Amino acid sequence: MPSGQTLRGPDRFFPPTVVRGLQELDQKDEWGGAVRLVDLPRIHDPRGDLTFIEGGRHIPFEIARVYYLYNVPVDAERGGHAHQELQQVIFALSGSFRIVVDDGRERKEYWLRDPRRGLYVSQMIWREMDSFSQGAVGMVLASHRYDEADYYRNYTEFLEVAKSQSA
Ligand code: TYD
């Protein structure tokens, strides 16, 4: 093949492998589904992996906002809040980090490191994020636009509300 010419036609065709394993959106865990892992599809071929997110299919809310965390110092602690209404799904697009979640009764930790596996976090869950690897990139899909009034940034206040709601 002459140099500079790209390969086209059947020689260029790599049959993709669709890796299934989507979890049902209503999958429940011991926290009533308030925090759970969400698996996205992966299209795998020799050129690399491709993952996609379709509204209304893969994420259990309508996506109103996307934001990402990057240039995070490895010793940074992020989060440290809960939300009255906001739901999120958090992904490590690159690298890894830890998320500690707390529903006011118990704490759990998740390590995110797979770009196709996100963590759904419902409203009224306190979250803390740390142990970012060098160059980690976190992407967050959110159910609402940014609203500071939706935040609980004081843990004691969050606990009081969480306990009153579960009473
Ligand atoms: P914050 O939600 O506290 O970040 P994290 O949970 O990752 O530690 O937000 C940090 C700052 O950025 C805060 O001043 C609010 C602002 N912010 C926006 O203006 N828009 C946004 O969508 C988000 C997520 C934060």
Q: What is the pLDDT of residues 26-39, one digit of tens each?
A: 444 568 899 999 99
In this structure, the residue with its CA closest to atom 6 of ligand 1 is 79
User: What is the structure's pLDDT at 23?
Assistant: 42
The pLDDT assigned to 28 comes to: 47
Q: Domains along the chain?
A: 33-166 (2.60.120.10)
Within its chain, how far is the Cα of 102 from the centroid? 16
Residue 81 Cα, ligand 1 centroid: separation in angstroms? Answer: 10
Q: Which residues does 58 contact at the CB level (< 8 Å), separation at least 6? A: 22, 38, 40, 41
* CA 149, chain centre distance (Å): 22
Q: 3-state DSSP call for residue 94?
A: strand
pTM for the whole structure: 0.86
For the record, the structure tokens of 68 come out as 């990402």
pLDDT digits (tens, 9 = 90+) for 119-146: 999 999 999 999 999 999 999 999 999 9
Q: What pLDDT, on a 0 to 100 scale, did the predictor assign at position 6?
A: 52
Q: Per-residue pLDDT for 4 more than 70?
A: no
Say yes or no to pLDDT of 20 above 80: no
Does any ligand 1 atom lie closer than 6 A to the CB of residue 67? yes
**Of 137, 99, 132, 100, which is closest to residue 115 (Cα–Cα)?**
137
- Predicted confidence at residue 167, as pLDDT, reads 78
Report how far apart, in Å, the C-alpha atoms of 47 and of each of 43, 111, 113, 133 are: 10, 27, 21, 25
| pLDDT for the residue 32 | 85
Q: Which range has highest mean pLDDT (10-19, 25-34, 42-51)?
A: 42-51
Residue 6 parent element (H or E): none
Q: Which protein residue has the closest C-alpha to ligand 1 atom 4? A: 79
Q: How far apart are CA 95 and CA 85, in angstroms?
A: 29
Q: Any catalytic annotation for residue 81?
A: yes
Q: Mean pLDDT in the chain?
A: 88
Per-residue pLDDT for 162 more than 60?
yes
Percent pLDDT > 90 in the chain is 78
Distance CA 76, CA 98 (A): 11
pLDDT for the residue 35:
96
In which residue are the tokens 């009153």 written? 164
Does residue 60 have its Cβ closer than 6 Å to ligand 1?
A: no
Residue type, 73: P
User: How far is the centre of ligand 1, averaged over its atoms, from the C-alpha of 79 (Å)?
Assistant: 9
Sheet containing 78-83: which strands, arranged edge to edge? 107-112, 97-102, 126-130, 78-83, 151-152
